[in-house]
Amino acid sequence: MAGLEGMTALVTGGGSGIGLGCARRFAADGAHVTIAGRTEARLTEAVKEIEAAAAPGASVQLSVCDVTVEADVERAVAAAAEPTGALDILFACAGGSLHGGPIVASDAAAWRATVDLNLAGTFLCIKHAAQLMMRRRAGSIIGMSSIAGHTTHRFMSAYSASKAGIEMLVKCAADELGEHGIRVNAVQPGIVDTELMSFITAGGPVLESYYENMPIARVGTVDDIAAAVRYLAGPESTWVTGQTLGIDGGHQLRRGPDYGSLLGG
């Protein structure tokens, strides 16, 4: 692949897991990287890790940001553009789940908060990044979906619905922004070995339900996802937009995992 020398990138959720891995990959390829997240101490440690892998000429900075707060997002986008005056890449990775359990017993506030974090947070990032990218008529935006956006996950309805929403949001944004030279795609990871998922990857019935439904039955790595995000971010994919790329060992060919043993189903 060609490098990303001189390009700027914003990675939300960049303090850990997949976001950190992708930020590290961008910096290793020469980009000026800004990582955003809610916890400054975690971001500070992540900056050190990214700097250790960065190519000569790359730079790394942080922006404390809650993606559900529009002013925070606007500030993070502006910070990411500081090295060159432009923003070339957005990876809207921040997300998670604040809800779990049967639909009929779900707490409405937790359900809404999950949708707000994943879907509305991604919308706000696209809104403000695209405004900046339109000035130069170029840019690549990558959203973070999941196999849960395509395949049902029992007892995780808010997470699944919000990830499905991201996939449609990406399509709408790609349709609207293409005329401005901006590409919008998403990645759809399966289970990945991160701190967030360690309670599953350590073993047990939920992990076995993953393996039963994966043609290539192994846990993914952060580097598996970073390679796909890097492709969508860079010049190798200049005619790719409105797509969702599954990186899941083929899991979406079958059925979703069963979280019942964890969530009371």
CATH code 3.40.50.720 for 8-249? yes
Residues with catalytic function: 159
3-state helix vs strand vs coil in the chain, percent to 5: 50, 15, 35
32-70 pLDDT tens trace:
999 999 999 999 999 999 999 999 999 999 999 999 999
- Give how far Cα 126 sits from Cα of 11, 112, 158, 167, 203, Å: 12, 20, 21, 13, 36
Reference 118, options 145, 91, 84, 100; nearest CA is: 145
pTM of structure: 0.96
What digits encode the pLDDT tens for the residues 58-114? 999 999 999 999 999 999 999 999 999 999 999 999 999 999 899 999 999 999 999
Q: In this structure, are strands 244-247 and 182-189 parallel, antiparallel, or unpaired? A: parallel
